[in-house]
Amino acid sequence: MISGIYKLVDGSLVQKLRFDNISNNLANVSTTAFKRDIISFNQIPTMDYFSETDFQPGPITYTGNKLDLALVDHGFFKIRTPRGIRYTRDGSFALNAEGVLVTHRGDTVLGEQGPVRIEGSDISIKVDGEIVVDGQTAGKIAVVDFENRGALRKEGQSYFRYTGEGKGEAPAARVEIRQNYLERSNVNPTEEMIKMLEAYRAFESTQKAIQCIDEITRRLVNDAALLQ
Amino acid sequence: MLRGLWSAASGMTAQKMTIDVIANNLANVNTVGFKRSRTDFQDLMYQTLSQAGSVTSAGNQIPTGIQIGMGTMPVGVQKIFMQGDFKETKNQLDLAIEGEGFFKVISNEEELYTRAGNFKLDTDGNIVTPNGDKLQPGMTIPSETVSIKIDKTGTVTAFDSSGAGTTIGVIELYNFPNPAGLFSMGHNLYRPTDASGEAVSGSPGSDGLGTIVQGFLEMSNVDVVEEMVSMIIAQRAYEINSKAIQTADNMMQLANNLKR
């Protein structure tokens, strides 16, 4: 009798978790190169659920800033942070005082031969990531991809950390970098709103079912004795 | 409490900031030499509820785990130093920079930089901004001057009533390794920071610096249509996050009503 309640409580907690996740997707609807998360279920009877990141590239938009880079295909920029190597698709880069290409947080963007130093004003970045400054090649931006993208964990600040075995990264199969463009969030607000409604109503139904069980239990406790 | 409530709140704060920036851009749609700003966002930290690779009580290995994000945060408001439109004024002390670079002025004994070229003459014959800040390197226009010619490399020639010209000085331009790192002072002025790097001087037209165009002004680089579209997106995103807050509120109400 009572075990039914625990199943329902578990069910409502899952809906709450789904809602938390949708809410985060919606909060990041204008975050550069954000990748939405999905809560998925393995098997319904055991309620085994996990979160997955949808790595589908988002739409790209023109910004007119020559240090804004968008990756059209799958792949990640490689960033050196104080905590180790991280990966991101957020290509809104800048230069620091030494002329080194960095992220908004000041972490170094890695090229195929280490950090990229840009001296000069006429910066053009080719589709394959080659950086040409005043007619001279200054390096090539590293774009890597992973066989097992599921081993990438989100860390905030648009960074991903690889948690799988080995090095994991390999040069991306197809590199297409667009200069002056940024990748937008791949969150679809309509879809998230529908999922939010669904999670909300499912939450509501579990609450109703809990009330039902409560009512039945009340009857059993209070009225069963009267029947005898 | 519901995490989603705070995530949605962070989304609303972020969109509010976008609106603030857009409003400022639109307010400066006619400001000479104004450069529009844009906000950049990143996701906040993630809470790991179950670690990938850990083993459940049933003995199964969890393949991917659960990570729930905590919302969004603004990470920078960046100036976009795209060229603005030119407007012909025929005023001989209106200077536009075609290409990169900044004018240097002295304001309160501090060296500051600007792209607004609407200069005037003060009573001593100095070239000054509308706020009275002197253009650097300083030069004095003789009082008997009737017209001033400034060529594209910045050479200033003053002509007197007889038509004889004398070279007064040369206007230099300055550039930065990272102009987006400049600190906006207001009054169209920028102050160098560690992020922008040291100013590098040069004569107009050399070292990647732009050329000077006399009789023109560089207008604001704000594109009204683009700002309006951004505003629509920001407003709707704000709205959608407020809906998430309402939903969180309703969910908590439902949970509260369990106990009658």
Q: Is the pLDDT of residue A187 over 70?
A: yes
CA distances from residue A157 to A102, B43, B233, B256 in whole angstroms, order as listed: 14, 5, 22, 35
| A227 located within any domain | no
Q: Give residue-wise pLDDT tens across range B178-191.
A: 888 889 988 899 99
Indicate yes or no: CB of B10 within 8 angstroms of CB of A90.
Answer: no
A23 to B62: CB separation less than 8 angstroms, yes or no: no
Same-domain status, B122 and B155: yes
41-60 of B, contacting A, C-beta below 8 A: 41-46, 48-50, 52-53, 58, 60
- A81 and A164 in a single domain? The answer is yes
The answer to whether residues B40 and B152 belong to one domain is: no
- Residues β-bridged to residue A120: none
Which residue among A26, A95, A121 places its CB closest to the CB of B100? A121
- The answer to whether B250 contacts A134, with C-beta atoms less than 8 Å apart, is no
Q: Does A177 map to a domain?
A: yes
Residues B94 and B183 occupy one common structural domain: yes
pLDDT at B1 over 90: no
Complex ipTM: 0.78
Q: How confident is the model at residue B153 (pLDDT cuts 50, 70, 90)?
A: very high
pTM given for the model: 0.83
Residues A39 and A83 placed together within one structural domain of the fold: no
B positions 90-109 inside 8 Å of A (CB): 100
For the cut 70, the answer to whether the pLDDT of residue A116 exceeds it is yes
Please check whether residue A130 lies inside any domain of the structure: yes
Interface mutation target, options B178, B207, B223, chain A, most CBs of A under 10 Å:
B178
Predicted pLDDT at B24: 95
Answer yes or no: is pLDDT of B58 > 80.
Answer: no
Range of the domain at A93: 67-183
Residues B114 and B209 in one domain: yes
Q: Quick check: is A59 in a domain?
A: no
* A105 & A82 share domain: yes
Tell me if B64 and A39 make a contact (CB, 8 A cut-off).
no
**A170 and A77 share one domain:** yes
Minimal Cβ distance to A51: which of B68, B72, B181: B68
CB B84 within 8 A of CB B224: no
Co-location of B125 and B202 in the same domain: yes
Mean pLDDT, all residues of chain B: 89
What 3 state SS string does A172-194 have?
A: CCCCCEEECEEECCCCCHHHHHH
Domains held by chain B: number? 2
Report d(CA B164, CA B151) in Å as an integer: 16
- Measure A39 CA to nearest chain B CA, in Å: 8
Q: Write out the residue range of the structural domain in which residue B131 sits.
A: 86-218
Residue A224 lies in a domain: no
User: Which residues in chain B are closer than 8 Å to A153, comparing Cβ atoms?
Assistant: 46, 48, 52, 67
Q: pLDDT confidence of B88, banded at 50, 70, 90?
A: very high
Does the residue A127 lie in any domain?
yes
pLDDT tens by residue, A39-82? 887 665 555 778 889 999 999 998 888 889 999 999 999 999 99
Confidence of residue A122 (pLDDT cuts 50, 70, 90): confident
- Identify the weakest region by mean pLDDT among B38-47, B61-70, B193-202: B61-70
Q: Please name the residue of chain A whose CA is at the shortest distance from the CA of residue B230.
A: A30
Residues B157 and B237 grouped into a single domain: no
Number of A–B residue contacts, CB under 8 Å: 209
Residue A80 sits in the same domain as residue A165? yes
- What is the number of domains present in chain A? 2
Looking at the domain assignment, is residue A137 inside a domain? Answer: yes
Of B115, B119, B114, which Cα lies nearest the Cα of B98? B115
pLDDT tens readout for residues B100-131: 899 999 988 899 999 999 999 998 889 999 99
pLDDT score of A228: 60
Q: Is residue A105 part of a domain?
A: yes
User: What pLDDT sits at residue A81?
Assistant: 93
Same-domain pairing of B98 and B187: yes
Question: Do A17 and B80 make contact, defined as CB atoms within 8 angstroms?
Answer: no
What is d(CA A214, CA A212) in angstroms, rounded to the nearest whole number?
5
